[in-house]
Structure 1
């Protein structure tokens, strides 16, 4: 990385360098900005904050050991068990211990978590949790409610400037030292430089690189590719979680049928009405997500179909208890009170990302990462349900504390107005649009629920060919992230958690460890793979 600000338009000529620039307007980015107040912070967001964030779409809630019947140790152990042997135990312990305090933070920002008549938080249980510990909002509206509250808090905080409609493309810096963000306004060609004393990457996940996903279009791996291109170490990229029960109704993104439905007793059946999770796992529909996803995938592949039956368990309560899913079903012409809901696995969450330590520091100086773009080691090979929002707020707070400790006492900031209109949607040429379609289809088909050496090698070849026609850096970034995922999956010759190889269907004890790679190493693997294919 050797990009300086000299070649680009400064975002605010004559102004001091920002204390902190945060790339991403989701939960991790907003929470970090609030925790940094009153230190001057600029948030750069691809879309209006909240609208392009996967956090806003989260239905289940946030997991935290709050109940007297629960404990931090039990939450920790459940997380470690779900992670299939490769979680960083110290990270998991710290994350679960700080959960209740972060929930109190969210309450202080006005998040209306469900409470009983005596003011106690109401808790639900989700898959692979040994206790009810998921804090929700109106059944399936936690993500939206949390984001709405944080957006309001951010808008009211004078030290936080929000620039919406800017796409991060590269980091500015010299060697391993990051000194800012290079971004392009949506719909425009001019690049703008945002120099900073500290940069926080909170750009979200990779979901929309897959044809079947529950994530918004902005979750396309840009931030992960930016860090990889700058030389950052990427960890656990092969571990992709597929939510078992996306509504299979032809929508893109696919509406999510929250796991809380199965927590309330909804069951999975095929066309014949057979409850196919019987005999597969003792926890039936509440088995770990990767197991349920593969079972559903198998039923669909073999022509029996897969459906979520909520009629007896939820019935007439559906509209009030799960309004988001109810509305999605109604839009597809289904009534979940009396109809079976067709479901299929969809890309939902990426356990891998930019390698960070316990304070969110990456392998590049002056760059921190939080949220889905980061790989803290908290999730291992398979994320425990509702731990994603927890991880985002815990490490966003830790990053804020780390930055505060490294930099001088902040000055107050009242930003001048800046034209931050999103502009027009990006105009892509036909070849780039086709390249994106190739990328999404090959990841779903060859780097999806089931993987093999043949399919992964094909994916790498297809992505490399698609990348050759891409002009915009933002589209090239999508291709880079696709290669990182496929290459990591090719190198892990075993099955573990969210990564299942049909040619290596068992866990290999010798591979019970995290994976690490740089883009340089991945490009070398791709070149070797192409020579073999040719």
Structure 2
């Protein structure tokens, strides 16, 4: 049994960011791409809306930048926004070259034209969202995966759960460098040692920290937690985006109703059919997500509602079925015909705007360690992510980080003498009920106390609970063999603590962070940056 592995580049995460980077490096380097479960388990596969990019002659980089800055509540880093938006056309061009089947305009006779169909979403001043019907993420993922599978230098490994990064500091060696990672191989039950010249965290966000989320089960903040334990700073963890419209149905686990419906005219209504968004914002249903989510939350609490309704039934049925086939078919399985009736919806945790601090090349505070995609903090999203900027960030930073890695090949050597994982002092657990109980409790109090609307008292309660939970989890982790459930719980509890601490530090309401105790916005916009006390915390 081989418990040691060596690669030029270790990519933890198999979504759009990780696959983009791997494909850009595979001509020169041996790359391993790891997934916790199946390769399609990440958030990319489930993304519906599309990719925001400046593709139309009537649109401009300046307009896209300005829209992003406005949505970000004064906290976006304009240099990062310009870097990403400025590379948007090239990023889309590369995806088209790979074969992503983006939707094209239809001529009057029903045939496809050469022009791509662009839609509009909340916060955007132009139609600039290129998409593949309403399953853009799946189209991008499947195309990139097919390309990766065909490449002999890319090894795709499923059922591999990252335990922790291996650093020179933890081994008592000189410098501050990432040397690889310990990875649980769920197929044989052993923790294996992966040595790499460069390690890339492309692990996605942490929305599973909340009870209600649009994200798959894999979104447990693993990269953020591992980077923090390795000594990297994190920033703006208090900004958790709640998507305003997830399908409300007891059997509809985590199904998102794409924002593109509102972009095409869908209206939010109360049970009596009355619209309410115009009372909250002049942009009504096309206001940024934080405003729409808070408005829905307000109306649900004011009237004691289980949900509100999103109605696009006033549009032609054929238009709805052709533009939103995935939403149409999925709702139909639950007995909801969206061409005839409104969709019951609720807000749910959707996107982690903060993350691991990186520079414009995706470099973290640790040499040879990169973070790209939702797990990173680039400065793009500020206090509120604008719709469809996230997939763009994945592609641009996957390309940028790969170029930086290629420029540093001569400076970085492989550490081939890394110690094996020591599990001689642990035993198999016979009390896994503790994991499931703590998992449920954590997600419940995060939803109740650190959700869409916050107060200082709620945050203090959450901090008290998370401290107790982390102590219990640490004891369990120290005495029993690791499992995927235990590792995810350990990471989620740490990320929850980082979110709570960040929220307690922000004495204002800005973007996605709204607190009743500090409802005003401060004049000076500043990031919340947390520095780990030591590399071993």
Q: Check the 8 A contact 1:180/1:194 in 2, yes or no.
A: yes
Q: Does 1:448 align with 2:451?
A: yes
Structure 1 residue 189 displacement after superposition: 4.5
Structure 1 residue 521 displacement after superposition: 9.1
**Residue 170 of structure 1 corresponds to which residue in structure 2?**
164
Structure 1 residue 163 displacement after superposition: 1.1
Runs of 4+ aligned residues of structure 1 deviating over 4 Å after TM superposition are 521-524
Unaligned residue ranges in structure 2 (runs of 5+): 106-111, 170-175, 413-428, 477-485
Name the SS for the 2:34 alignment partner: strand
Candidates 24, 32, 53, aligned match of 1:42 = 32
Q: Does 1:360 align with 2:367?
A: no
**Residue 10 of structure 1 corresponds to which residue in structure 2?**
3
Distance 1:440 1:348 in 2: 14
Unaligned residue ranges in structure 1 (runs of 5+): 1-7, 411-425, 525-534
Candidates 319, 329, 337, aligned match of 2:331 = 329
| Aligned CA distance change for structure 1 residues 428 and 271 (closer, same or farther; 3 Å) | farther
1:130-169 to structure 2, matched below 5 A, reads 130-138=125-133, 140-169=134-163
Distance 1:324 1:507 in 2: 39
**Residue 4 of structure 1 corresponds to which residue in structure 2?**
none
Candidates 108, 115, 124, aligned match of 1:120 = 115
Question: Bigger CA drift: 116-125 or 31-40?
Answer: 116-125
CA RMSD of aligned residues (A): 2.1
Q: Check the 8 A contact 1:432/1:469 in 2, yes or no.
A: no
Q: Check the 8 A contact 1:9/1:193 in 2, yes or no.
A: no
Q: Check the 8 A contact 1:199/1:367 in 2, yes or no.
A: yes
Q: Check the 8 A contact 1:179/1:198 in 2, yes or no.
A: yes
**Residue 413 of structure 1 corresponds to which residue in structure 2?**
none
**Residue 436 of structure 2 corresponds to which residue in structure 1?**
433
Structure 1 residue 477 displacement after superposition: 1.4
Distance 1:278 1:198 in 2: 50
Q: Check the 8 A contact 1:234/1:518 in 2, yes or no.
A: yes
1:56-67 to structure 2, matched below 5 A, reads 56-67=45-56
Q: Deviations over 1:412-450 (max 9, x none)?
A: xxxxxxxxxxxxxx9980011010001111111111111
Candidates 340, 343, 358, aligned match of 1:341 = 343
Q: How many residue pairs get matched?
A: 495
**Residue 106 of structure 1 corresponds to which residue in structure 2?**
95
TM-score by length of structure 2 reads 0.89
Structure 1 residue 340 displacement after superposition: 1.8
Structure 1 residue 319 displacement after superposition: 2.7
Q: Check the 8 A contact 1:438/1:462 in 2, yes or no.
A: no
Q: Check the 8 A contact 1:435/1:467 in 2, yes or no.
A: no
Name the SS for the 1:119 alignment partner: strand
Distance 2:397 2:430 in 1: 36
Q: Check the 8 A contact 2:214/2:254 in 1, yes or no.
A: yes
Q: Check the 8 A contact 1:308/1:342 in 2, yes or no.
A: yes
Q: Deviations over 1:3-59 (max 9, x none)?
A: xxxxx97333xxxx3111011011100000001121111111102212x11011111
Name the SS for the 2:115 alignment partner: coil
Candidates 497, 516, 520, aligned match of 2:511 = 497
Name the SS for the 2:178 alignment partner: strand
Structure 1 residue 253 displacement after superposition: 3.7
**Residue 390 of structure 1 corresponds to which residue in structure 2?**
392
Distance 2:153 2:430 in 1: 34
| Aligned CA distance change for structure 1 residues 428 and 118 (closer, same or farther; 3 Å) | farther
Structure 1 residue 464 displacement after superposition: 2.1
**Residue 380 of structure 2 corresponds to which residue in structure 1?**
378
Q: Check the 8 A contact 1:169/1:473 in 2, yes or no.
A: yes
Q: Check the 8 A contact 2:205/2:219 in 1, yes or no.
A: yes
Structure 1 residue 372 displacement after superposition: 0.3
Candidates 48, 60, 69, aligned match of 1:80 = 69
Question: Bigger CA drift: 245-254 or 478-487?
Answer: 245-254
Distance 2:177 2:252 in 1: 38
Distance 1:298 1:269 in 2: 13
Structure 1 residue 408 displacement after superposition: 3.9
